[in-house]
Amino acid sequence: MKAAAFDYLRASSVDEALEALSTAENAKVLAGGQSLVPLLNRRLARPSVLVDINGLDLSSIQRTNDHLVLGALTRHRAVETSPLVARDLPLLTEALRHVGHVAIRNRGTFGGSLAHADPAAELPAVAVALDAEFTVRGEHGLRTISARDFFTGSGQTALEADELLVEVRLPVLPARTGHAVEELSRRSHDLALVAVFVTVTLDADGACEQARIAIAGAGPTPIRAIAAEESLRGSVLTPALIAGAAREAAAATDPASDLHAPADYRRDMAAVLARRAITRANGSAR
């Protein structure tokens, strides 16, 4: 099938993109096109205008005092291969290796994946795990949205139709932090059936100072497993403690059954993957 007819505007400035988004009836932003173009071709999206933002200066990876700041148009592959990201946020580097395959990652953008808000996608879950902050621009200026408020449902975000995601701020985690991504998918480049993203920060005595656990593919939005995180805080992590936290993490999920997997299977796998991820993150924090 071919896409329904639409007008096309290649924006040469953020202001021009915002004006087009606010004046056209049903305009859509085009970034890497790796999610939007398949939707157009299947006529699941029928915008009147595509506002192409690929000419905008929104592609960058920068370190500020205690954050990495990524421009929304930064390609997945640029983030994945960035030495700065590998040094300061290796959770993100590991997560990106699970996003599609290299051809997809060459075109797909960091901001596009977040704005698309697929509940099985890796980057929204990483953003939720790290309490990322999203900088959004509209015709009336900038606003900041926390990752937990940004994802409002499956494919739904707090972005207004006339707003552009321009930048994402991710905190750099302290020394003695380990990380792990454990993902189950049918083929290596498929979206996750379930994926678990963990960081563990240890104190000087080797006890868990802070754990961050987020789960993709197990609810309409990425899930932050707060009770599981709390159950680990302050203790030297033993296999029994980790297994208990993994069960807590699975209990926080709200999976649906679909043609890919039944809900019970996803919940069971969330526990298995959480146990593996916490164990590996704890081991790599030493």
Ligand X SMILES: Cc1cc2nc3c(=O)[nH]c(=O)nc-3n(C[C@H](O)[C@H](O)[C@H](O)COP(=O)(O)OP(=O)(O)OC[C@H]3O[C@@H](n4cnc5c(N)ncnc54)[C@H](O)[C@@H]3O)c2cc1C
Q: Which one of 117-125, 246-254, 259-267, 273-281 is the stretch in contact with ligand X (CB under 6 A)? A: 117-125
Least CB distance to ligand X at residue 228 (A): 23
Q: What residues numbered 93-112 form the site for ligand X, per CB under 6 A?
A: 99-100, 104, 108-109, 111-112
SS (HEC) of the chain: CCCCCCEEEECCCHHHHHHHHHHCCCEEEECCCCCHHHHHHCCCCCCCEEEECCCCCCCCEEECCCEEEEECCCEHHHHHCCHHHHHHCHHHHHHHCCCCCHHHHHHCEHHHHHHHCCCCCHHHHHHHHCCCEEEEEECCEEEEEEHHHHEEECCEECCCCCCEEEEEEEECCCCCEEEEEEEECCCCCCCCCEEEEEEEEECCCCCEEEEEEEEECCCCCCEECHHHHHHHCCCCCCHHHHHHHHHHHHHCCCCCCCCCCCHHHHHHHHHHHHHHHHHHHHHHCC
Least CB distance to ligand X at residue 176 (A): 29
Interface residue with ligand X, options 74, 93, 113, 199 (CB under 6 A): 113
Residue 217 interacts with ligand X (CB under 6 A)?
Answer: no
Residue 191 interacts with ligand X (CB under 6 A)?
Answer: yes
Q: What residues numbered 59-88 form the site for ligand X, per CB under 6 A?
A: 72
Residue 155 or 171 with smaller CB distance to ligand X: 155
Residue 35 or 231 with smaller CB distance to ligand X: 35
Residue 99 or 194 with smaller CB distance to ligand X: 99
Least CB distance to ligand X at residue 14 (A): 10
x-marked contacts with ligand X along 138-177 as a string, rule CB under 6 A: ---------------------x----xx------------
Nearest-angstrom CA–CA distance, 275 and 286: 18
Least CB distance to ligand X at residue 238 (A): 33
Residue 14 interacts with ligand X (CB under 6 A)?
Answer: no
Q: Site residues (CB under 6 A) for ligand X?
A: 28-36, 38, 72, 99-100, 104, 108-109, 111-113, 115-116, 121-123, 159, 164-165, 189-191
